[in-house]
Amino acid sequence: MKQILYFILSIIFIILLLDTSSAQQKVERWGRFEVLLKHTAPGNGFSDVNLSATFTGKDTSVVVSGFYDGGNVFKIRFMPQQIGTWNYTTSCNIPELDDKKGSFECIKTTGNNHGIVRVSETYNFKYADGMRYYPFGTTIYAWTHMAQGLQELTLKSLKNASFNKVRMCVLPKNYGLVLEEPELYPFEIKEVVKDEKGKEKKVWDFTRFNPAFFRHLEKRIDDLSQLGIESDLIIFHPYDNGRWGFDGMTNEVNIRYIKYLTARMASFRNIWWSMANEWDLVKQKTHDDWDLLTKTVVASDPYRHLCSIHGSTANYYEYWKPEFTHVSIQDEAPVLNPGAAAILRNVYYKPIIYDEVGYEGNLTSRWGRYSPEEMTYAVWMGVIAGTYVTHGESFMFKNEKDTIFWAKGGEF
């Protein structure tokens, strides 16, 4: 009798286990499925292991790059765009990680999941499920590099606002109004030395990333997704001035950084790629470099997220190139005159976003002292011309350490 009871309980346990396993393998359309593999690989897991997987659904297959997440953990992330069963097989130069197979079920979306944003009807945008998307964004360049309490306050402020896109930097920013030292860095520290003035300077191991840095960024991107906000990620910028040296990395490092970033984050549906903020001010990179790096991003992203590049005032790029899905511009002149904002539509035949036209604030700088009415006027002039305008707030009320939202986040 005990043997029969034991047999029945064993069968029930197996059924429950299978049900649990099956439940864990259901992922919403445009959600994120993750393959986790553990292996103690010799050498450098970031550079010596070439891991990928082929995901096969009905009448389609997608090849996705994997990445090393530290601690002998390798991951492959996939964003399914088709409902139904998906099967995958890994490919790796390490035998222990090669030819691993599995499957999952892609199910219908729920809640606020409308999918990835795409270009629609030449000049506009829509979500993958067909719902219109009108970008009304704001700017918080360095918010993920601030103290955790300030980051939480930023999210609270965004929750109570109506913005559906933010422009933000991946790398930390060294600027007159943003001088904080970040808690996390994108690369491992090889050593700390002192320069000729006796100031400590970090020497990076550019062959080894810091997974904690990227995990934190991913968490914040997911936080924004929960609020229905798109993350316009600025991959490079000129605001370093030798402090960390991330603006002067070689193209070998730049490409490795891009491939690691896209392997980790391309599966996030609310990502946009901005190649640079004020690309022309990054003096260590040539125009050909920007073309190369942009092509690297596009080639490394199997989902073809929106992609653009952003220059200094009235410094435009060749946005008609196929790598760019839309136009991201810094220029206030087109939104100060009726109808002028529409001219660029007929130049590029792509969606036009005036991502910098000046900021609402009280700074002494020309770009940071729009009144609320002037900022509203600029947005309105862009909208009635069939274009889009991004907001930014640069009020400083207390002292030089006040958290200007445009730079650090905080409260509007």
Q: Same structural domain for residues 211 and 275?
A: yes
Number of domains in the chain: 2
Domain assignment present for residue 213? The answer is yes
- 150, part of any domain: yes
Q: Give the global pTM.
A: 0.92
Q: Which of 81, 107, 133 is the last residue of a domain?
A: 107
Based on the domain organization, do 152 and 219 belong to the same domain?
yes
Q: Which residues pair with 178 in a beta bridge?
A: 175
Q: Are 103 and 146 within one domain?
A: no
- Is pLDDT above 80 for 6? no
Does the structure show a pLDDT above 70 at 20? no
State what percent of residues in the chain have pLDDT above 90: 86
Question: 15 and 56, same structural domain?
Answer: yes
Are residues 63 and 154 both part of a single domain?
no
Asked if residue 353 belongs to a domain, the reply is: yes
**CB of 180 within 8 A of CB of 145?**
yes
Q: Is the pLDDT of residue 21 over 70?
A: no
Shared domain for 100 and 202, answered yes or no, is no
Helices (H), 202-319: 211-226, 251-265, 287-300
Q: Is the pLDDT of residue 373 over 70?
A: yes
**Residue 281, in any domain of the structure:** yes
- Write out the residue range of the structural domain in which residue 89 sits: 2-107
Last residue within a domain, chosen from 76, 107, 138: 107
Q: What is the mean pLDDT of residues 226-248?
A: 97
Asked if residues 107 and 81 have their Cβ atoms less than 8 Å apart, the reply is: no
Which amino acid, residue 141? Y
Domain containing residue 250: CATH number: 3.20.20.80
| Domain end position, chosen among 107, 138, 166 | 107
Between CA 120 and CA 164 the distance in angstroms is 17
Question: Do 75 and 145 belong to one domain?
Answer: no
- Give burial (CB, 10 Å; 0-12/13-18/19+) of 308: buried
Residue 302 has pLDDT above 70, yes or no: yes
Q: What is the C-alpha separation between 28 and 198, in angstroms, rounded?
A: 54
Check if the beta carbon of residue 207 is closer than 8 Å to that of residue 194: no
Residues 293, 154, single domain; the answer is yes
Report pLDDT for 176: 85
**Residue 112 located in a structural domain:** no
The pLDDT assigned to 18 comes to 42
Q: Which element (helix H / strand E) includes 155?
A: helix 148-159
Give the residue from 37, 20, 19, 26 showing the smallest Cα distance to 104: 26
Range of weakest confidence among 109-113, 262-266, 325-329: 109-113
Length of the chain measured in residues: 412
**At 38, which CATH number?**
2.60.40.10
> How many of the other CB atoms lie within 10 Å of CB of 120?
14
> Across the chain, what does the average pLDDT equal?
93
What gap in Å lies between CA 205 and CA 200, rounded to an integer? 16
For residue 87, is it within any domain?
yes
* SS3 state at 24: helix
Q: How far is CA 284 from the centre of its chain?
A: 23
**Assigned domain for 288 exists:** yes
Domain check: are 124 and 206 in the same one?
Answer: yes
- Mark whether 286 and 154 lie in a shared domain: yes
Q: Is residue 62 situated within a structural domain?
A: yes
- Give the pLDDT score at 4: 55
Q: What is the mean pLDDT of residues 228-232?
A: 99
Residues 153 and 44 in one domain: no
Do 49 and 187 belong together in one domain? no
